Chain A
Amino acid sequence: MKIAITSQGNSLESKLDQRFGHCQFFVTYDSDNGTIEIIPNPYHNVEEQAGALAVKLLSSKNVAKIISGEFGLKVKPMLDSLKIQMIILKDDSKTVQTIIEMLNKTYSKEE
């Protein structure tokens, strides 16, 4: 299962971005084989519809869950209809690395 995390930078030490559509980078983590992919967000500087465009980008990558600080009002119904789970984490001191470690523990337990 693929999980997307919004990130402020292009390394695993960077922190979780509190915005979804306008975040700097998306980090996708595949819990089945542990691969990590960093995708720069092409809609970072788009003024309107950044959230909607980002949803399209992530759904084309078959992401099942998205971790971010906040999801906009237009994004929520879109993700609902695509059956993508939203995880809101308000704690912006967490780095992408720690989140991936948390996910790793959770999903290795299940198998």
Chain B
Amino acid sequence: MNGTWGWPLLLAALSLGGLAAGILGDGVWDWLCWVGLAAPVVVVVRRMRDQWHGPDERSNQNS
């Protein structure tokens, strides 16, 4: 795993786990499903919120 694939692979694993958990049962399984599939949405929202202001500075640092 390198810097490029670290986050995507983590989100992929959480998504896959979430998709599977919901079908395996109810109760705690449903919660695992919601957490797993909420992860990509949360990451997208946080990345957008964090970078909405001062994008130039961030991109200069990272490019």
Indicate whether A and B interact: no
Question: Which residues of B are in contact with A by a Cβ distance under 8 Å?
Answer: none
